Protein backbone atom coordinates (compact mmCIF):
# COMPACT_ATOMS: atom_id res chain seq x y z
CA UNK A 1 0.00 0.00 0.00
CA UNK A 2 2.88 2.35 0.82
CA UNK A 3 4.57 1.66 -2.54
CA UNK A 4 1.34 2.19 -4.50
CA UNK A 5 0.59 5.52 -2.83
CA UNK A 6 4.17 6.62 -3.42
CA UNK A 7 4.23 5.81 -7.14
CA UNK A 8 0.55 5.82 -8.17
CA UNK A 9 -0.58 8.61 -5.82
CA UNK A 10 -2.67 10.50 -8.40
CA UNK A 11 -4.42 7.32 -9.54
CA UNK A 12 -5.23 6.30 -5.95
CA UNK A 13 -6.68 9.74 -5.19
CA UNK A 14 -8.85 9.67 -8.31
CA UNK A 15 -10.18 6.17 -7.63
CA UNK A 16 -10.84 6.93 -3.96
CA UNK A 17 -13.08 9.81 -5.11
CA UNK A 18 -14.81 7.40 -7.54
CA UNK A 19 -13.28 9.16 -10.55
CA UNK A 20 -11.68 7.49 -13.56
CA UNK A 21 -7.92 7.31 -14.08
CA UNK A 22 -6.50 9.81 -16.56
CA UNK A 23 -5.59 8.54 -20.03
CA UNK A 24 -2.02 9.79 -19.55
CA UNK A 25 -1.49 7.34 -16.69
CA UNK A 26 0.74 4.32 -17.34
CA UNK A 27 -1.87 2.01 -15.78
CA UNK A 28 -4.88 3.42 -17.64
CA UNK A 29 -5.18 0.41 -19.97
CA UNK A 30 -5.16 -2.00 -17.01
CA UNK A 31 -8.56 -0.75 -15.82
CA UNK A 32 -7.33 -0.31 -12.22
CA UNK A 33 -9.62 -0.18 -9.17
CA UNK A 34 -9.25 0.15 -5.41
CA UNK A 35 -10.17 -3.01 -3.54
CA UNK A 36 -12.63 -2.11 -0.78
CA UNK A 37 -11.41 -4.97 1.44
CA UNK A 38 -7.70 -4.19 1.70
CA UNK A 39 -7.46 -0.77 0.02
CA UNK A 40 -4.91 -1.97 -2.57
CA UNK A 41 -4.74 -0.89 -6.19
CA UNK A 42 -5.46 -3.89 -8.43
CA UNK A 43 -5.86 -4.77 -12.09
CA UNK A 44 -9.41 -4.82 -13.42
CA UNK A 45 -10.59 -6.76 -16.44
CA UNK A 46 -13.44 -8.91 -17.68
CA UNK A 47 -12.73 -12.20 -15.92
CA UNK A 48 -14.60 -11.57 -12.66
CA UNK A 49 -16.79 -14.66 -13.20
CA UNK A 50 -13.92 -17.08 -13.78
CA UNK A 51 -13.14 -19.93 -11.36
CA UNK A 52 -9.49 -18.97 -10.78
CA UNK A 53 -8.43 -17.51 -7.39
CA UNK A 54 -9.28 -13.87 -6.68
CA UNK A 55 -5.60 -12.94 -6.44
CA UNK A 56 -5.01 -14.20 -9.99
CA UNK A 57 -8.13 -12.51 -11.40
CA UNK A 58 -7.16 -9.13 -9.97
CA UNK A 59 -3.43 -9.04 -9.17
CA UNK A 60 -1.86 -6.25 -7.13
CA UNK A 61 -0.29 -3.47 -9.21
CA UNK A 62 3.40 -2.72 -8.65
CA UNK A 63 5.79 -0.27 -10.36
CA UNK A 64 8.73 -1.46 -12.42
CA UNK A 65 11.46 0.68 -10.81
CA UNK A 66 11.16 0.33 -7.07
CA UNK A 67 13.28 -1.37 -4.45
CA UNK A 68 10.29 -3.28 -3.06
CA UNK A 69 9.58 -4.71 -6.54
CA UNK A 70 13.21 -5.79 -6.91
CA UNK A 71 13.15 -7.49 -3.50
CA UNK A 72 9.93 -9.30 -4.39
CA UNK A 73 11.39 -10.61 -7.67
CA UNK A 74 14.59 -11.73 -5.92
CA UNK A 75 12.59 -13.54 -3.25
CA UNK A 76 10.47 -15.39 -5.82
CA UNK A 77 13.58 -16.20 -7.88
CA UNK A 78 15.32 -17.76 -4.87
CA UNK A 79 12.18 -19.69 -3.82
CA UNK A 80 12.12 -21.24 -7.31
CA UNK A 81 15.76 -22.36 -6.99
CA UNK A 82 17.04 -19.65 -9.37
CA UNK A 83 14.71 -20.60 -12.22
CA UNK A 84 14.53 -18.74 -15.52
CA UNK A 85 12.62 -15.60 -16.41
CA UNK A 86 9.41 -17.25 -17.65
CA UNK A 87 9.02 -19.43 -14.55
CA UNK A 88 9.53 -16.47 -12.23
CA UNK A 89 7.08 -14.34 -14.25
CA UNK A 90 4.36 -16.98 -14.22
CA UNK A 91 4.57 -17.36 -10.44
CA UNK A 92 4.63 -13.62 -9.80
CA UNK A 93 1.53 -13.07 -11.92
CA UNK A 94 -0.50 -15.35 -9.67
CA UNK A 95 -0.64 -12.43 -7.23
CA UNK A 96 1.17 -9.36 -8.61
CA UNK A 97 1.13 -7.37 -11.85
CA UNK A 98 4.41 -5.53 -12.35
CA UNK A 99 4.53 -2.79 -14.98
CA UNK A 100 6.78 -3.98 -17.84
CA UNK A 101 7.45 -7.15 -15.86
CA UNK A 102 9.32 -8.93 -18.66
CA UNK A 103 12.16 -6.40 -18.80
CA UNK A 104 12.14 -5.86 -15.03
CA UNK A 105 12.51 -9.56 -14.20
CA UNK A 106 15.17 -9.99 -16.86
CA UNK A 107 17.18 -7.11 -15.37
CA UNK A 108 16.97 -8.52 -11.83
CA UNK A 109 17.97 -12.02 -12.95
CA UNK A 110 20.86 -10.59 -14.97
CA UNK A 111 22.36 -9.14 -11.77
CA UNK A 112 21.84 -12.34 -9.75
CA UNK A 113 25.31 -13.35 -8.53
CA UNK A 114 24.41 -17.01 -8.02
CA UNK A 115 23.00 -17.36 -11.56
CA UNK A 116 26.03 -15.66 -13.09
CA UNK A 117 28.33 -18.09 -11.29
CA UNK A 118 26.29 -21.11 -12.40
CA UNK A 119 26.13 -19.96 -16.03
CA UNK A 120 29.79 -19.04 -16.26
CA UNK A 121 31.51 -21.24 -18.88
CA UNK A 122 34.13 -23.66 -17.61
CA UNK A 123 37.74 -22.57 -17.94
CA UNK A 124 39.76 -24.29 -20.65
CA UNK A 125 43.50 -24.73 -20.90
CA UNK A 126 45.56 -24.08 -23.98
CA UNK A 127 46.13 -27.38 -25.78
CA UNK A 128 49.64 -28.78 -26.19
CA UNK A 129 51.43 -29.10 -29.52
CA UNK A 130 50.29 -31.90 -31.80
CA UNK A 131 52.46 -35.05 -31.90
CA UNK A 132 54.62 -35.75 -34.89
CA UNK A 133 52.30 -38.57 -36.11
CA UNK A 134 49.52 -36.01 -36.55
CA UNK A 135 51.66 -33.71 -38.67
CA UNK A 136 53.67 -35.95 -41.00
CA UNK A 137 52.65 -36.13 -44.66
CA UNK A 138 51.52 -39.64 -45.56
CA UNK A 139 48.98 -41.41 -47.80
CA UNK A 140 45.43 -41.60 -46.43
CA UNK A 141 44.92 -44.24 -43.73
CA UNK A 142 48.59 -45.23 -43.59
CA UNK A 143 48.65 -44.58 -39.82
CA UNK A 144 45.35 -45.45 -38.23
CA UNK A 145 43.66 -46.56 -35.04
CA UNK A 146 41.31 -49.54 -35.47
CA UNK A 147 38.47 -50.66 -33.25
CA UNK A 148 35.57 -53.11 -33.43
CA UNK A 149 32.20 -52.48 -31.80
CA UNK A 150 28.71 -53.88 -31.85
CA UNK A 151 26.66 -55.96 -32.30
CA UNK A 152 23.93 -54.26 -34.31
CA UNK A 153 20.91 -56.08 -35.68
CA UNK A 154 20.13 -55.58 -39.37
CA UNK A 155 17.49 -56.96 -41.69
CA UNK A 156 18.13 -58.81 -44.91
CA UNK A 157 14.77 -59.69 -46.44
CA UNK A 158 12.88 -61.30 -43.58
CA UNK A 159 16.01 -62.31 -41.69
CA UNK A 160 17.41 -60.46 -38.72
CA UNK A 161 21.21 -60.63 -38.76
CA UNK A 162 23.81 -59.68 -36.16
CA UNK A 163 26.55 -57.42 -37.53
CA UNK A 164 29.63 -55.75 -36.09
CA UNK A 165 31.40 -52.59 -37.20
CA UNK A 166 35.06 -51.82 -37.80
CA UNK A 167 36.07 -48.20 -37.43
CA UNK A 168 39.31 -46.78 -38.83
CA UNK A 169 40.49 -43.39 -37.58
CA UNK A 170 43.29 -41.63 -39.42
CA UNK A 171 45.85 -40.32 -36.93
CA UNK A 172 47.00 -37.31 -38.95
CA UNK A 173 43.46 -36.00 -39.51
CA UNK A 174 39.87 -36.48 -38.36
CA UNK A 175 39.06 -38.83 -41.24
CA UNK A 176 37.01 -41.89 -40.27
CA UNK A 177 36.03 -44.99 -42.24
CA UNK A 178 33.39 -47.47 -41.10
CA UNK A 179 33.23 -51.06 -42.37
CA UNK A 180 30.56 -53.69 -41.57
CA UNK A 181 31.89 -57.04 -40.28
CA UNK A 182 29.64 -60.14 -40.46
CA UNK A 183 31.21 -61.91 -37.44
CA UNK A 184 33.28 -60.99 -34.40
CA UNK A 185 36.13 -63.29 -35.43
CA UNK A 186 39.77 -62.71 -36.40
CA UNK A 187 39.17 -64.12 -39.89
CA UNK A 188 36.25 -61.75 -40.57
CA UNK A 189 38.20 -58.87 -39.09
CA UNK A 190 41.22 -59.44 -41.36
CA UNK A 191 39.00 -60.13 -44.38
CA UNK A 192 37.20 -56.81 -44.05
CA UNK A 193 40.51 -55.08 -43.39
CA UNK A 194 41.81 -56.34 -46.71
CA UNK A 195 39.03 -54.36 -48.40
CA UNK A 196 40.25 -51.16 -46.81
CA UNK A 197 43.93 -52.07 -47.24
CA UNK A 198 44.48 -53.95 -50.54
CA UNK A 199 46.77 -56.98 -50.49
CA UNK A 200 49.49 -55.08 -52.33
CA UNK A 201 49.80 -52.85 -49.23
CA UNK A 202 50.24 -55.88 -47.02
CA UNK A 203 47.66 -56.54 -44.37
CA UNK A 204 50.28 -58.05 -42.11
CA UNK A 205 52.30 -54.82 -42.14
CA UNK A 206 49.16 -52.94 -41.07
CA UNK A 207 48.53 -55.38 -38.23
CA UNK A 208 52.15 -55.00 -37.11
Mean pLDDT over residues 29-44, rounded? 92
Comparing 46-55, 90-99, 139-148, 160-169, which segment has the lowest mean pLDDT? 139-148
pLDDT at 195: 65
Are both 103 and 141 inside the same structural domain?
A: no
Burial of 146 (0-12, 13-18, 19+ CB in 10 A): middle
Using alpha carbons only, what angle is made at residue 107 by residues 106 and 110, rounded to the nearest 5 degrees? 85
Are both 102 and 44 inside the same structural domain?
A: yes
- The Cα–Cα gap between 1 and 39 comes to 7
Q: Is residue 127 part of a domain?
A: no
> Which stretches of the chain are DSSP H helices?
2-7, 9-16, 54-57, 67-79, 85-92, 101-110, 113-119, 132-135, 186-196, 203-207
> If we measure between CA atoms, which residue out of 189, 199, 103, 90 comes closest to residue 146?
189
Are both 17 and 98 inside the same structural domain?
A: yes
Mean pLDDT over residues 27-54, rounded? 91
Q: Which domain holds residue 138?
A: 132-207
Are both 19 and 97 inside the same structural domain?
A: yes
Q: Is residue 125 part of a domain?
A: no
Are both 157 and 61 inside the same structural domain?
A: no
- The Cα–Cα gap between 27 and 43 comes to 9
Q: What is the pTM of this model?
A: 0.59
Are both 110 and 165 inside the same structural domain?
A: no
Q: What is the pLDDT of residues 180-202, one digit of tens each?
A: 888 777 777 777 766 665 544 44
Instruction: Look at residues 77, 96, 119 and tell me which one is the last residue of a structural domain.
Output: 119
Domain count, the chain: 2
Instruction: Look at residues 91, 119, 147 and tell me which one is the last residue of a structural domain.
Output: 119
Indicate the DSSP class of residue 162: E
CA distances from 173 to 42, 131, 165 (A): 66, 12, 21
Q: Is residue 20 part of a domain?
A: yes
- The Cα–Cα gap between 147 and 24 comes to 74
Amino acid sequence: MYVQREVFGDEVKALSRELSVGKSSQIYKLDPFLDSEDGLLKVGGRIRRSDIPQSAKHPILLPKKHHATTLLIRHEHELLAHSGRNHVLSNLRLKYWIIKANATVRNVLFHCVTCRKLKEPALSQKMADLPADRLELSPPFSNVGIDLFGPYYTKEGRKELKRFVEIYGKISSNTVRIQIVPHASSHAFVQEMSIVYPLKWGVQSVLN
